[in-house]
Amino acid sequence: MRLAAGVVLVVSGVRTLRAETAIGAVILQVIAVGAGILLLAGLWTPIAGSLVAVIELWSIFSQDGDPRIYILLGTLGGAMALLGPGAWSVESAPKECLQRSKIVDRASRYGVQGDSIWGCPQTLAVVTMRLTNKVATSV
């Protein structure tokens, strides 16, 4: 979803910037290209998605022609603003990997098992295994 919206924003923005247009449209397209690049990279996805939604809403009322592409891109921008970056974005990968490894290292160093005092969330597999063991031992 991020890739589709980002590619369309960058390509249409560059195409509009190559044509001679009014300064208002140029500023709008520069912001749209910037938001498209952020979406392609997976950085600041909620902010970039909000920008896309606002820009495309503005474009629906200010641009001539068929508003369907603006409605589609505005909807995608709003969805990305609400859904967030996702697992395959640059934004989420380092934060989760680095913080998770630090938390697990600290917890194991101090002998903390299960729920960590640092707020390390348990995975579904661990919770399921513990529930299965409790049911098996109580029966």
Domain that holds residue 31: 2-83
Looking at the domain assignment, is residue 88 inside a domain? no
Answer yes or no: are the C-beta atoms of 29 and 17 closer than 8 Å: yes
Residues 97 and 129 in one domain: yes
For the chain, what is the mean pLDDT? 76
pLDDT in tens, 120-134: 444 444 444 555 555
Q: What pLDDT score was predicted for residue 75?
A: 96
Residue where one domain finishes, among candidates 37, 56, 83: 83
133 and 79 together in one domain: no
Does 55 share its domain with 119? no
- Pair 76, 124 in one domain: no
Looking at the structure, tell me whether residues 40 and 77 fall in a common domain. yes
Find out whether 122 and 115 touch, Cβ atoms under 8 Å: yes
